[in-house]
Amino acid sequence: VQLVESGGDLVQAGGSLRLSCAASGLTLNTYDIGWFRQAPGKEREGVSCISESDHTIYYADSVKGRFTISSDVSKNTVYLQMNFLKPEDTAVYYCAAAVSPLDDGLRSSEYKFWGQGTQVTVSS
């Protein structure tokens, strides 16, 4: 299994970015995908997760209404559309995968496979 994130960048507050997580060695129909982030000096935080097997999506309270997770099964890719970005969204963003179903898709310990991360920096 390999996960490759892309789309991180430097953006001004209020701006938007779309992150991509391209997966290989698995199928989205049987694996749940989560997005996590980690800022310097802080613990890794679950941002959002998606399960194609049971058609569920979850978001952390801190991103509800601003971030949208989606998937393209034909491309085996999961996206994270991030709107109205804030400086506190600055972090390295990771995608992760685990066999569905998960007990808590926003808990990092649930996931077995991780990408290398992509940096998102939001300037004020």
Residue % of the chain over a pLDDT of 70: 100
Write down the pLDDT at residue 73.
Answer: 94
**Which whole number is the average pLDDT over 110-117?**
98
Task: Tell me the chain's radius of gyration from C-alpha atoms.
Answer: 13
DSSP 3-state of 108:
helix
Mean pLDDT of all residues in the chain?
Answer: 97
Residue % of the chain over a pLDDT of 90: 97
Cβ pair 94, 37 in contact under 8 A = yes
Token readout for 14 is: 């209020």
pLDDT in tens, 26-54: 999 999 999 999 999 999 999 999 999 98
Cβ pair 59, 69 in contact under 8 A = yes
